[in-house]
């Protein structure tokens, strides 16, 4: 003997209807972006470079790599070029 069930009753017996609150969602929260180290060291590295120190010695005194010092000095030069305050007169 078959009983005629409504659509809702038939659906809930085989598979429950999932509401938004029952759906598992994984959200990855990204940390706030930090300022790169070479940008933090820009002024110190540039001042030491203007005093005539080589990149290697600046890196040693700031406890960073030589590449970081070069990036810091280049970043400062790019900032000055954008503002029109190029110290080389360009």
- Indicate whether 45 belongs to any domain: yes
**66 contacts 55 by C-beta, under 8 angstroms:** yes
- Indicate whether 41 belongs to any domain: yes
- Indicate whether 5 belongs to any domain: no
pLDDT of residue 45: 95
Q: Over 60: is that where the pLDDT of 2 sits?
A: no
In this prediction the pTM is: 0.55
Q: Which domain holds residue 46?
A: 36-83
- Indicate whether 48 belongs to any domain: yes
How much of the chain exceeds pLDDT 90, in percent?
A: 44
Domain count, the chain: 1
Query: Per-residue pLDDT tens for 9-53?
Result: 555 556 666 666 667 778 888 888 888 999 999 999 999 999 999
């Amino acid at each position: 003997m078959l009983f005629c069930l409504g659509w809702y009753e038939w659906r809930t017996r085989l598979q429950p209807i999932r509401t938004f609150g029952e759906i598992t969602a994984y959200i990855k929260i990204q940390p706030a972006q930090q300022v790169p180290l070479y940008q933090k060291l820009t002024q110190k590295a540039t001042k030491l470079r203007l005093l005539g120190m080589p990149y290697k010695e600046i890196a040693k005194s700031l406890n960073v790599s030589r590449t970081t010092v070069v990036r810091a000095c280049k970043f400062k030069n790019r900032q000055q070029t954008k503002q029109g305050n190029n110290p080389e007169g360009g």
